[in-house]
């Protein structure tokens, strides 16, 4: 490289290269880069075991603020994109699931709101929250009770529709064709759901509010902070299946927070069966309320044979130590032992498995893995202490789990363990990417 150095020969000695200033600078930069790369290691520690079938493969950093608070995530395998409701950066983070690369954040949300004392994140007023997509349309709930409609081609919010509440639009679900959308205002008192028409595969936006859905107050009494959680669409029955953490009198006389309850036994939850067809529901879209036994569910995801996993959690019903899988046709159920505390749950057709964001698991937060055919718990993998969100790409055979930054960096709400830091390789949080087994016959 004659432009980088010169040679000076001394009698009786071999000629030695003399580096120019530019060459020294280039060499220094190379050494610095190598040193920095050597310091950044990810997928280590308890969250990256070598003995599990679910393997931690990489960690994706999110530019901007360290991850302190996030909510639901979603994968659109047709676009090879993962979406995270990132409150820390007041937007929806988009990840390229094919190349494991951050693409961008779509802003315009309220971000993190703190409680009145300024000591914790106020989930009921922070946003974004729930998120779901179909084709080029992404729908996300915000902390000001609005539904945001996003055109993924332009990367912009094209509409913001109020549900009429004062707290967040939380979890949501779309019909298979993307033409009907059900969203839940979980923190209202009483809580309610809202049915919208959605855009399907249309080029232009025409989202419209159809109806507000409430539940009989004898089942969800007001004044006690009871809620409605994650809905899921069952294509076979053409019904939304919605998790309800707590209902009254399940069992009779149970305690849902009322003064002087007849029994100290905590009330279990239920699922709502909602028919979105206004021609058949005869005044109320709520077709059925199915009480559950020893389960206060948050998440819901439809798996094979019309089975629906609902994420039971001791945060809703103290003592829960199982997860329930219930059939959407017969309403018979089985319990998955040694797995509880889930918020979001996700069925991945590519691996034929359910994945759970179990941040309230007894003993610490885990990623739970359950076989979709046998309904047996296969394995649990430790996660950062606030990891409650999970989504899978069935075509690229990956599971995505957000990890919060350490408590020492972001304060209350951060990871109180070192698990997330070791997975991420940084102190800023990340999206952990897990490689999962491939089951071709289960993909469709």
Instruction: Summarize pLDDT for 96-126 with one digit per residue, the tens.
Output: 999 999 999 999 999 999 999 888 999 999 9
String of DSSP letters for 382-398: E--TT----EEETTTTE
Backbone angles phi, psi at 428, to 5 degrees: -115, 5
Residue 412 confidence (pLDDT): 87
Q: Which long-range contacts (CB under 8 A, 24 or more apart) does 286-293 make?
A: 286/213, 286/215, 287/239, 289/215, 289/219, 289/244, 289/247, 290/326, 290/331, 291/247, 291/250, 292/250, 292/268, 292/324, 292/326, 292/333, 293/268, 293/333
Backbone angles phi, psi at 327, to 5 degrees: -85, 130
CATH classification at residue 288: 2.130.10.10
Contact indicator for 130, 183 with CB cutoff of 8 Å: yes
* Residue located via tokens 């996700």: 346
Contact indicator for 371, 378 with CB cutoff of 8 Å: yes
Residue 39 confidence (pLDDT): 54
Number of compact structural domains in the chain: 1
Residue 282 confidence (pLDDT): 63
- 203 in a structural domain: yes
The C-alpha atoms of residue 3 and residue 16 are separated, in whole angstroms, by: 15
At residue 417, the 3 state secondary structure works out as coil
Buried b (16+ CB within 10 A) or exposed e, 260-292: eeeeeebbbbbbbbbbbeeeeeeeebbeebebb
Contact indicator for 381, 49 with CB cutoff of 8 Å: yes
Element (H, E) at 27: helix 21-39
**Domain extent for 339:** 41-439
Angle at 157 between CA 154 and CA 160, to 5 degrees: 155
Residue 387 confidence (pLDDT): 96
- 197 in a structural domain: yes
- 7 in a structural domain: no
Buried b (16+ CB within 10 A) or exposed e, 154-169: eeebeeebebebebbb
- 309 in a structural domain: yes
- How long, in residues, is the chain? 444
Q: Which positions of the chain have pLDDT values less than 50?
A: 1-38
Residue 362 confidence (pLDDT): 87
CA distances from 433 to 43, 51, 398 (A): 9, 17, 6
Instruction: Summarize pLDDT for 127-148 with one digit per residue, the tens.
Output: 999 999 999 999 999 999 999 9
Beta bridge pairs of residue 333: 326
Residues 6 or more apart whose CB falls under 8 angstroms from that of 206 comprise 197, 199
Residue 35 confidence (pLDDT): 41
Residue 237 confidence (pLDDT): 96
């Amino acid at each position: 490289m004659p432009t980088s150095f010169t040679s000076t020969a001394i009698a009786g000695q071999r000629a030695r290269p003399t580096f120019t200033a530019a060459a020294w600078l280039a060499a220094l930069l190379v050494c610095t880069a190598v040193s920095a790369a050597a310091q950044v290691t990810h997928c280590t520690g308890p969250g990256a075991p070598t003995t599990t079938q679910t393997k931690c493969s990489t960690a994706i950093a999110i530019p901007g603020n360290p991850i302190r608070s996030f909510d639901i995530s979603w994968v659109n395998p047709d676009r090879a994109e993962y979406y995270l409701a990132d409150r820390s950066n007041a937007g929806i983070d988009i990840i390229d699931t094919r190349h494991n690369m951050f693409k961008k954040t779509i802003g315009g949300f309220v971000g993190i709101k703190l409680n009145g004392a300024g000591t914790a994140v106020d989930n009921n007023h922070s946003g974004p929250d729930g998120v779901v997509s179909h084709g080029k349309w992404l729908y996300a709930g915000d902390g000001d009770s609005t539904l945001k409609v996003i055109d993924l081609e332009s990367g912009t919010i094209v509409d913001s529709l109020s549900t009429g509440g004062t707290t967040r639009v939380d979890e949501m679900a779309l019909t298979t064709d993307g033409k009907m959308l059900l969203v839940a205002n979980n923190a209202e008192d009483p809580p309610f759901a809202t049915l919208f028409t959605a855009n399907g595969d249309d080029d232009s936006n025409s989202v419209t509010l159809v109806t507000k859905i409430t539940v009989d107050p004898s089942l969800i009494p007001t004044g006690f902070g009871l809620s409605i959680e994650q809905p899921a669409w069952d294509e076979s029955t053409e019904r939304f299946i919605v998790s309800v953490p707590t209902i009254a009198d399940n069992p009779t006389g149970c305690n849902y927070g009322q003064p002087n309850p007849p029994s100290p036994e905590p009330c279990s939850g239920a699922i709502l069966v909602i028919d979105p067809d206004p021609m058949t529901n005869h005044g109320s879209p709520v077709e059925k309320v199915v009480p559950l036994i020893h389960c206060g569910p948050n998440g819901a995801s439809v798996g094979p044979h019309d089975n629906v996993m609902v994420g039971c959690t001791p945060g809703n019903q103290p003592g829960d130590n199982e997860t329930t899988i219930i059939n959407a046709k017969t309403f018979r159920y089985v319990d998955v032992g040694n797995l509880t505390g889930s918020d979001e749950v996700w069925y991945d057709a590519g691996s034929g498995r359910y994945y759970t964001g179990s941040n309230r698991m007894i003993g610490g937060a885990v990623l739970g893995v359950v076989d979709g055919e046998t309904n047996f718990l296969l394995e649990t993998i430790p996660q950062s202490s606030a990891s409650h969100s999970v989504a899978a790409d069935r075509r690229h055979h990956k599971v995505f789990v957000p990890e919060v930054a350490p408590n020492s960096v972001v304060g209350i709400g951060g990871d109180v363990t070192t698990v997330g830091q070791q997975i991420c390789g940084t102190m800023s949080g990340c999206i952990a990417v897990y490689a999962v087994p491939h089951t071709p016959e289960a993909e469709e």
